[in-house]
Structure 1
Amino acid sequence: MTDAMTWTQAVVLGAVQGLTEFLPVSSSGHLRIVSGVFFGDDAGASFTAVTQLGTEAAVLLYFARDIVRIVAAWFRGLFSAEQRGLDYRIGWYVIFATIPIGLLGFVFKDQIRTGARNLWLIATMLIVFSAVIVLAERYGKRRRPIEELTLRDGVTMGLAQCLALIPGVSRSGATASAGLFLGLQREAAVRFSFLLAIPAVTASGLFSLPDAFSPSGDGLEASGPQLLVATVIAFVIGFASIAWLLRFVAKHSLNWFVGYRVIVGLVVLGLLAGGVVSAT
């Protein structure tokens, strides 16, 4: 049986999406945790994907000049070898790096919407993947600016993005960590991770729209107006989050988020072990 989502739930979950999408803490994991712990049910993978359209709209607005420049350079470069500079290359890097998550997301779409949303798995991934972030910060040389980005870097970060199909990993955490391991400067890794997320998240959100209006099985069913409001809230808060994170990573380590991830993961594991919340 599907329960109707309340307006309070829609507003809170939209805010959670906006706050956590760009931080290396896993927005999909947080939406699942908040809906399960505080509302006693799962908002669903489709609701998550649709509200991500709000945060991706924030990316499009924030990086509008960069995106227009890259797209224009990519088209010019198709017809003139003399126009094939950095922006042209980045356009191709984003295209090639998006292919892996597109294929895996399609093949494993049923598992992503069901078994991958188990709270035992999400809490465990919050803790385990924290170690990856720590190692990336410790061993990443952080010397290369975005001007030195290569196709190998882009594809490697694209493969890392596939890990975000598991709630609890974090899309930005996975791609930024991969960038750090490759020797990219922290800000360069985070900036490219934002660009890389645009096609995959937008496609996922649009593909999930029909399911969001007609969810199957147990969970919370959001109405059209609730989805719209949650997405707008995610957009507004997400836009502010982008600006804050880019300033933060220019001077601070991603390790600041590790302690938080571990604490949340341990709390959720404790609630599950104590039978306070259900894993599914």
Structure 2
Amino acid sequence: MGVIDLNADLGETVEGVPTADDEALFAVVSSANVACGGHAGDAASMAASVERAARFAVAIGAHPSYPDLAGFGRRKIAMSAAELRSTITEQLAALARAGADIRYVKPHGALYHAVMTDADHADAIAAAVADLAAQLGRDVPVLGMPGVIAVAVESMGLSFVPEAFLDRGYRGDGTLVPRGEPGALETDAATVSARAVRFVREGIVETVEGTAIELGAASLCVHGDSPESVALARAVRAALDADGVEVRAPW
């Protein structure tokens, strides 16, 4: 029997309007990356996420971003490391004030990709998370794709947990196909669910070039803000359950 974490980006309310069916998604995931005001989310949506997480026994992770409500956090913002550390600290605190027991942190959007190569911004994220870990008196892992962020996090004495995406296209070098390019998004439930099972069993994912690459990951992500998100997540969970894979948060 295999074991894997299944996560989704949730609580992404924009101007009071949810971008996903959070109720349906909380029912099938084991970890929820909760927006905490940088790109989406507000006090009400964070409180709702905390309530759902308790009801469905789902682990809560903070999902901070560049301060970019207008761009949904998908634009890299020019900020000093000190400025970024400050805004991330504020976002983590906002989620904590909503009653969240923050078990891990996963950067969102442009920040997620930036910290794979931008050492200054990776260090800023790591420092903000290390501050939270010190307050809580325990490890607060960072979830993401490998890069300089892993080095920054581990240098702070924190854990880095790699993840893989089920509904995004991969290139042969292990990077994601940029949004807007052909093959960037996968919307077929059968394909996505088969990819999940194959990943758990073999540790590989097929690329847009038709090759297979190895990815070491302890968590699989299905994005919550796509129209197909609920169908995809349910199909993935059903396929994993049918294959005897235990879906469980590692935090």
Q: Please say whether Structure 1 and Structure 2 have the same fold, judged by a TM-score greater than 0.5.
A: no
Q: Greater helix share, 1 or 2?
A: 1
Larger Rg over CA atoms: 1
TM (normalized to structure 1)?
A: 0.26
Q: Greater strand share, 1 or 2?
A: 2
TM (normalized to structure 2)?
A: 0.28
